[in-house]
Amino acid sequence: MYKSRIAGMGHHVPEQVVTNHDLSTMMDTSDEWIRTRSGIQERRWSPQDTGTSDLAYEASVNAIENAGIKASNIELVIVGTISSDYFFPGVSAQIQDRLGLNTVGAFDIKAACSAFIYSLSVADQFIKTGMVKTALVIGAEAQSKLIDKSTEGRDVSVLFGDGAGAAILTRSDDGNGILSTHLHCEGRELKHLWMEAPGTSPNAWINNLELDSDKFKPIMNGKEVFKNAVTRFPEVIEEAMAANKLSMDDIQLIIPHQANYRISQAVAKRMGVEMDKVYSNIHKYGNTTAASIPIALSEALAENKISKGDHIILAAFGAGFTWASAAIKW
């Protein structure tokens, strides 16, 4: 059985910076209110003519360049997103076409904030079993197109930003790479963080009477999300360490989903970890859902926070509820 490694990372965010002050002109909020509750100072929002696939494509081009490969080497495309350009087909089909990848397999994974690790895990299995040698894994979102930018929707809208991150996975030739991945879900909690429509359930059909209802807006029970996140994050990080006989002293960097800086602080405190071991860029980008981990990993590499031989843990928690982790030896 083969082992996979991340050969290159890339990310892309829109140019438009939306500060907390900017939001205060759209809704009843303030810079202080947002910062104290989330740690977010600004986020990026896409222009109207830019979709999730555009962000994903730019991140992919960056990852291909950083991996030192040709696009034609890619044999599989997996995209994690909940904000695809179209109801169907998925963003992966658009990326496959724009990169000129002929008829290689491409599909999307809808696991919200955990989707990048879910996608990474699937690609890892394809490489481990010898089905492909090189895979492109993307987390991308344009959530600004979906949120309610009024005072009524502020609990959600102040948190989210747009962006994309991409990874090139290849076979490892030195034993380093993805050591293990761990995926979980607890579907009974799904209505604490969800968007009911559009869908095919009896209450989610699109019609003129329903278009202005809350069914078409993301809904979040913040207290339940926080309570579950600060429990599941430590569990899944410890699961990844235990599977590989690692202690926290062996870990150089933890890259969590950038959901809320207060969640990251609470998780670090529970695990007895200093915050300098927990990567954070949420102050710049907000919560970019499936894109947050690959953007953070890409930036951490660019900032030389990861060296060859380092052990890192990726960890996520999101709608579903889903949660996941990956242990990697760089």
Active site residues: 113, 257, 287
β partners of residue 109: 80
CA-nearest of 49, 25, 259 to 142 is: 49
Number of H helices, E strands in the chain: 10, 13
Strand 177-185 relative to strand 322-329: parallel, antiparallel, unpaired?
antiparallel
3-state SS assignment for residue 246: coil
Structural Rg of the chain based on CA atoms: 19
Q: Which residues contact 324 (CB under 8 A, 6 or more apart)?
A: 111, 114, 117, 118, 121, 181, 182, 183, 184, 236, 315, 316
Give the span between the Cα atoms of 27 and 252, in whole angstroms.
Answer: 41
